Amino acid sequence: MSNPGELIIEPRNGKPADACFFILHGLGADGRDFEPMVPALPLPADASVRVILPHAPQMPVTVNGGMVMPAWFDILEMSLDRRVDEPQLKISAKRIQALVQAQIEQGIDSRRIILAGFSQGGAVAYEAALSFERPLGGLLAMSTYFATADSITLAEANRGLPIEVHHGNFDPVVPEALGKAAYEKVVSLGYPAKYRSYPMAHAVCPQQVQDIGKWLGGRLEDS
């Protein structure tokens, strides 16, 4: 798979970044999909957060008739179990981990790096965050599922990673049952996780954006 790059938004306060927030988009979108959300996040005025919005590569997607589109991995069937191409998912997760490592090498403390993902991007975020060998600041899973729950190699460095799980009550694309199952799985594994639901479909709503900003600010205060 080719590397299509990423959109990088530097801190709004004009100061050098001392924290980093990754957001992985969903199937058929790209990093620009979440660009409008960034200025709407209610972050503290002194927060120096770099936001990185990676773009997924183009590939054929089986459930969409083999149509080529931005995707982190192929989805093989739209069953409740969401059968996916796990090797591709893990390749995408490794790419995100490499981007995280690059931020660490630029001087960002790993505990001030937070991963978020929406839908397909959330499945990659679960894999990337929970298998990363340096302690991270948090994981935000939006309208998504834990596709590699039974195959992931959990990193001891992130066994205490705070996880926030968000899902819409009326999601016709990724049923809320999948979001709840992911939440229950990480809780059973001992992670400190919280679950929030919103009266929405497969989307992000204004109240959720407010909650994300508060959660992100809280995670940075604790690190």
Active site residues: 119, 171, 202
For every residue of the chain, DSSP letters joined together read -----EEEE--TTSSPPSEEEEEE--TT--GGGGGGGGGGS---TT--EEEEEEPPPEEEEGGGTTEEEE-SS-B---STT--B-HHHHHHHHHHHHHHHHHHHHTT--GGGEEEEEETHHHHHHHHHHHT-SS--SEEEEES---TTTTT----GGGTT--EEEEEETT-SSS-HHHHHHHHHHHHHTT--EEEEEES-SSS--HHHHHHHHHHHHHHHHH-
